[in-house]
Amino acid sequence: MQITFWGVRGSYPVPGAATVRYGGQTSCVEARSANGGCLIIDAGTGLRGLGNKLLREATGPEHYHLLLSHVHWDHIQGLPFFSPAYVAGTKISIYALLTAADELHQVIGGITRHEFFPVPLEAVPAEFAYHQVEPGVDFTIGAFKIEPIALNHPFGSVGYRIEGDGSSWAYVADTAPFNEVLHKQHFLSGPEPLSDDDRVALGTMREALVRRIRNTDTVVYDTHFLPDEYTRFPHYGHSTPDQALEICAEANVKRLVLYHHAPSHGDDQMDQVAAQYLAKGAAMGIEVLTSFEGMTLPIGPTNDDGKPA
């Protein structure tokens, strides 16, 4: 299996001279199994480039599988620009954490309403199917076994442990650390005091995350904030590289990939972050990589040429 990063930013796209090397597109990752099976995780603006590549490779209409962490803009904004959707006969299955499949249909249909976009969802040639995912309830897509993981984010988010070709990795975005209840918090209401039930729920969520990513080959984690930024914006629902390292150390994860970079972090600052956490991770026995647009990583054992074994 291998994964490729098509968008590594959080919040909003940041094209421009300051983001040439790490990239400015929002969240989107492609996973490939050895037999050619493909999974798409999140549909930020990085999805546009991936869609164009998939269309070039396709020999006819295909069936695409898209796992969404949640439906904040930076995770769905590429959907209307996914070029295979405009090929008749294409099927697109979307998996997301929502209370009902028709709610997901409304969300996806909502962003293409005629006020916002010239082609309404009903007029898109591809056939869409919606699947509700539930943390703790595993499912399979082709050669991939997928385990959804509840995360701590305003209005909820779900991570995925993805197993295939005898190895596994995990996608953990978006999430805050587990010392504040953010998943049910309204943005304007500010931090709410923790109840005993909240503490238990957060502890359970954290414990399940650590258990589910335990011993995975690679963990891609929401490390939007640097520590000083986190203290100013804890209610935004994102983590720092230090918080990700703590979780990975507990879960015996040997490779952490920093992901969902803050749009304000330009290439020079990202170089500093990458170097700082490469050293910090090495001291803990964890290889810390910093994702950039176009980065491809083999998951599991590799041959001498770096390709998946």
Give the nearer residue to Zn ion in terms of CB position, either 45 or 218.
45
For Zn ion, which residue of 147, 174, 217, 293 counts as binding (CB under 5 A)? Answer: 174
- Residue 177 as a binder of Zn ion (CB under 5 A): the answer is no
Contacting residue, 9, 32, 65, 72, with Zn ion by CB under 5 A: 72
Contact track, Zn ion, 37-56, x by CB under 5 A: --------------------
Cβ nearer to Zn ion, comparing 82 with 259 = 259
In the complex, what is the shortest distance from the CB of residue 174 to Zn ion, in angstroms, rounded to a whole number?
4
Per CB under 5 A, the segment of 49-57, 71-79, 205-213, 265-273 that binds Zn ion is: 71-79
In sequence order, what DSSP letters do the residues of the chain get, joined into one string?
-EEEEEE-BSSS---SGGGTTT---BSEEEEE-TTS-EEEE--STHHHHHHHHHHHH-SS--EEEEE-S--SGGGTTTGGG-GGGGSTT-EEEEEE--S-HHHHHHHHHHHTSTTT-SS-GGG-SSEEEEEE--TT--EEETTEEEEEEEE-STT-EEEEEEEETTEEEEEE-S---SSS--TT--GGG-PPPPPHHHHHHHHHHHHHHHHHHTT-SEEEEE----HHHHHH-GGG----HHHHHHHHHHTT-SEEEEESB-TT--HHHHHHHHHHHHHHHHHTT-EEEE--TT-EEE-S-B-TTSSB-
Nearer to Zn ion, 10 or 164 (CB): 10
- Considering only 2, 8, 10, 95, the residue that binds Zn ion (CB under 5 A) is 10
List 5, 47, 67, 74, residue binding Zn ion (CB under 5 A): 74
Per CB under 5 A, which region of 68-76, 96-104, 188-196, 264-272 contacts Zn ion?
Answer: 68-76
| Contacting residues toward Zn ion, per CB under 5 A | 10, 72, 74, 174
